[in-house]
């Protein structure tokens, strides 16, 4: 079976970390996380830093020399390569849809739903202190992987972002495949900031742990493509080898 492509891996991560409120009074946030991967097919064991910038209208994630920007108002995502000075532009409402194929459209959607699975969230009574925060464990299954989410309401800035996903959920509700997978429902059931996420993918694990978070004023230029960059054709299909 083919593994989940880059788009859906980023989607799952960025949706949970990109929880926002529609309030214009929301404070800008910046946080850093360490992501440790072990036993991932075709990749060495390693630890990398993920930087996330969040404002009321957009998010920016920096990882492995790549930048991803999600604009919640225009419903556009930009995948930026600073080294090559290029970027790809993706319509979030269309992202993840299967290619057009002959035959019954409903049958195709059902086939993809059965393959990817509906995302399920199960809260537990298990608690643990992680990175100085009191966390509760939630189990998330679907998208061909099982994950443990350790959530906390004690994280600085959580009050600003606890009305989870009003803008983001509306974006993915416009995409039939994302709607079937219950992305918006998952966001509504996760009550707290994800201090740690442990994703079991194939035979490997990916553990992302919050290291620091702060409220700070963010420049609008962080959420736009730099001048002089060249747009290239998107090569981010829903599934990849």
Q: Quick check: is 159 in a domain?
A: yes
% of residues, the chain, pLDDT over 70: 61
Q: Quick check: is 105 in a domain?
A: no
3-state secondary structure of 138: strand
Q: Quick check: is 141 in a domain?
A: yes
* Residue range 186-225, pLDDT digits in tens: 666 778 888 999 988 878 999 999 999 998 899 999 999 9
Q: What does DSSP assign to residue 41?
A: T
Give long-range contacts, CB 8 A cutoff, 24+ apart: 115-118. Answer: 115/1, 115/144, 116/4, 116/142, 116/143, 116/144, 116/177, 116/181, 117/141, 117/142, 117/143, 117/144, 117/181, 118/142, 118/180, 118/181, 118/182
Give the whole-angstrom CA distance, residue 151 versus residue 162: 12
Q: Quick check: is 134 in a domain?
A: yes
Q: Quick check: is 240 in a domain?
A: no
Which CATH number belongs to the domain containing residue 18 in this structure? 2.50.20.10
Sort 120 into a burial class: Cβ within 10 Å, 0-12 / 13-18 / 19+.
Answer: middle
Q: Is the dihedral of CA 124, 128, 131, 132 positive or negative?
A: positive
Predicted TM-score of the model (pTM): 0.76
Q: From the CB of residue 219, how many other CB atoms can be counted at a distance below 10 Å?
A: 10
Q: Quick check: is 176 in a domain?
A: yes
Tell me the residue range of the domain where 224 lies. Answer: 6-97+116-231
Domain count, the chain: 1
3-state secondary structure of 161: helix
Q: Quick check: is 109 in a domain?
A: no
Q: Quick check: is 239 in a domain?
A: no
pLDDT for position 169: 61
For the chain, the first-to-last Cα distance in angstroms comes to 9
Q: pLDDT confidence of 161, banded at 50, 70, 90? A: low
* Residue range 111-156, pLDDT digits in tens: 555 555 567 889 999 999 999 999 999 998 876 678 999 999 898 8
């Amino acid at each position: 079976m083919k593994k989940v492509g880059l788009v859906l891996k980023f989607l799952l991560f960025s949706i949970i970390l990109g929880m926002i409120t529609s309030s214009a009074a929301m404070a800008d946030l910046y946080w850093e996380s360490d992501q440790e991967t072990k036993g991932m097919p075709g990749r060495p064991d390693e630890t990398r830093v993920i930087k996330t910038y969040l404002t009321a209208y957009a998010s920016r994630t920096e990882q492995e020399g790549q930048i991803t920007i999600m604009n919640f108002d225009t419903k556009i995502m930009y995948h930026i390569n600073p080294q090559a000075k290029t970027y790809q532009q993706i319509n979030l409402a269309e992202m993840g849809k299967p290619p057009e194929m002959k035959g019954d459209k409903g049958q195709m959607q059902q086939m993809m739903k059965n393959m990817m699975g509906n995302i399920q969230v199960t809260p537990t009574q298990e608690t643990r202190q992680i990175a100085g925060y009191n966390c509760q464990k939630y189990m998330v299954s679907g998208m061909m992987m099982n994950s443990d989410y350790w959530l906390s309401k004690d994280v600085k800035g959580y009050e600003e972002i606890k009305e989870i996903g009003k803008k983001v959920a509306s974006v993915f509700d416009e995409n039939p495949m994302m709607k079937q997978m219950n992305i918006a429902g998952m966001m509504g059931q996760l009550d707290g900031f994800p201090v740690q996420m442990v994703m079991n993918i194939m035979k490997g694990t990916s553990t992302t742990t919050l290291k620091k978070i702060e409220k700070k004023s963010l420049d609008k230029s962080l959420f736009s493509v730099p001048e002089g960059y060249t747009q290239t054709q998107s090569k981010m299909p829903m599934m990849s080898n």
